[in-house]
Amino acid sequence: MKYLKLLLSVVFVSIQFLLCAQNQEKDVKMDSKAALQKMSTIYYLINNFYVDTADFENLTEEAIVSILKELDPHSAYISKKDVQKANEPLEGSFEGIGVTFQIFQDTILVVSPVPGGPSDKVGIMAGDKIVKIDGEEAFGKKVNNEYVAKHLRGKKGSKVTLGIKRGNSKELIDFDVVRDKIPLNSIDASFMLDNKVGYIKLDRFAKTTMEEFDAALKELKSQKMKSLILDLRGNNGGFLNVAAELSNQFLKKDLDIVFTEGDKSPKHVFKTDHNGVFSDGKLVILIDEGSASASEIVSGAIQDWDRGVLIGRRSFGKGLVQRPFNLSDGSVVRLTTARYYTPTGRCIQRSYDKGSEDYFKEMTNRMNHGEFYHADSIQFPDSLKYSTLISGRTVYGGGGIMPDIFMPVDTSYSTKLYVDLVRKGVLNRFTLEYVMENRNEILAQYSDFDKFNKEFYVSESMIDDFKKFAEKEGVEWNDEQFERSEPLVKLQLKALIARNEWDMEDYYQVVLREDKVVKKAMEILNDANQYRKILKR
């Protein structure tokens, strides 16, 4: 009853506000007033006449979700209990013990401790199994990601006692770990691909992104980098202002980066306020159907100013800006308040007229239509045609950013065998087990990653073991399909072993050597005439 009275009070205040403002927009406000009155009447009827006692808190949350769903695909409601989890990727940190883990045979397996984090400081190592948490058994069917988060995350300064099984030892080792703030890096990898070309893989646009990016760029420049590949494939966005700051690093002063505008949000232009620290070197940006929002802001600005070459496939097509509004109970509404436009005036938001369900099926529709394999399957109407601001090249709005160079999906990914190996986590589990059993031998033979990368290869006996493991895990093996996917499978096995023994950056150092999109980027960057020809400069 207390909750209902509060809700009705809010509705009443809202109605009074609408009445005060009705002289300005009489028709629109009268419609809103009538809708609010209708909603409050429904709550009143349920509270006073419904056969059972209603859960008004749940009803209200369901109503909010349904209302937002009718507006657009990206307006969203986040309940109080989910706010922290939703914000963590953008805040750039969480509080916990600091380990990368996987659930392996119903057990929490430490893939690696975060360097300098709480677990690393007390001596927890890669390959350790967490089998007790504060004296309670921590294995079996109850163990899943939610269980791990509940028991290992916690307030900074709080303590947790872990029972660790290490190697073949029958005795558990107890560690007292004091939780701390753990960084979530937005850059997955940063290194030189050759003596001139640097590479940065950016996973998200978070609060810490610019600090990480500036450090990575400084390090690459110290290694004599002349050209840069910025990999935004699969990057689904983040903060708009961070996207603008990142774009500024590649552009000269006083240039438009992006502008936002909505019916109730006046036009706001983001401009470069200085010459970027990499405003002159050759630049390639990699995008695909998973590149969205902030990724598209950066890509759009670079393309519109003919600053660099975009390679890959058409981006996601999210050109809506969300603003968070905190509600009284700690929950949050992320409401779409504006659209954003690239410097040429392109809005790259794709249509959602057919509803959210159809909207989120578009990637499947694109694949079925052949777009992932053939550039000529994509048709843009002339009404969405724009010209870039320096060279006058033709670019298009609506439905994402189309790259300058199209690269199809690698068909070796598309075999049913490879899809099953990934979907069932077989590659991950096999390499985890391999490293656990062979760690000492790996380190004895390969003193560091560079030596491993140059000398390690996946042997036929290892493939035989992998096949047996896959079949044991329920994968139907097909020799013909394996022949198509064999190079990719071997590459992933080597890369995952490198990740499990060293870190994620080393995973990318392995896989990028055979990445066709990266190879194309290297070809263009190392051919000045081809680079200029694409940009018509």
Instruction: List active site positions.
Output: 293, 304, 318
359: exposed, middle or buried (C-beta count within 10 Å: 0-12, 13-18, 19+)?
middle
DSSP string, 363-387: HHHHHHHTTTT-GGG----GGGEEE
Computed on alpha carbons and rounded to an integer, the radius of gyration of the chain in Å comes to 27
Tell me the C-alpha distance between 72 and 438, whole Å: 51
Q: Which amino acid type is present at position 239? A: F
User: What is the rounded CA–CA span in Å between residue 195 and residue 225?
Assistant: 7
Rounded distance between C-alpha atoms, residue 162 and residue 139, angstroms: 12
Spatial distance between the Cα atoms of 99 and 102, rounded to a whole number of angstroms: 10
Cα–Cα distance, 5 to 15 (Å, whole number): 15
CA distance 102 to 145: 9
Backbone angles phi, psi at 97, to 5 degrees: -95, -15
**55 in helix, strand or coil?**
coil
Number of Cβ within a 10 Å radius of residue 511: 18
Task: Give me the DSSP letters along 96-117.
Answer: E--EEEEEETTEEEEEEEPTTS
Q: Which amino acid is at 514?
A: E
* CA–CA gap between residue 420 and residue 476 (Å, rounded): 8
* Burial of residue 486 (number of CB atoms within 10 Å: 0-12, 13-18, 19+): middle
Given a contact cutoff of 8 angstroms between Cβ atoms, the answer to whether 396 and 385 are in contact is yes
d(CA 310, CA 396): 14
How many Å apart are CA 531 and CA 53, to the nearest integer? 69
Query: What are the CA-CA distances from residue 528 to residues 198, 214, 283 (Å)?
Result: 16, 26, 12
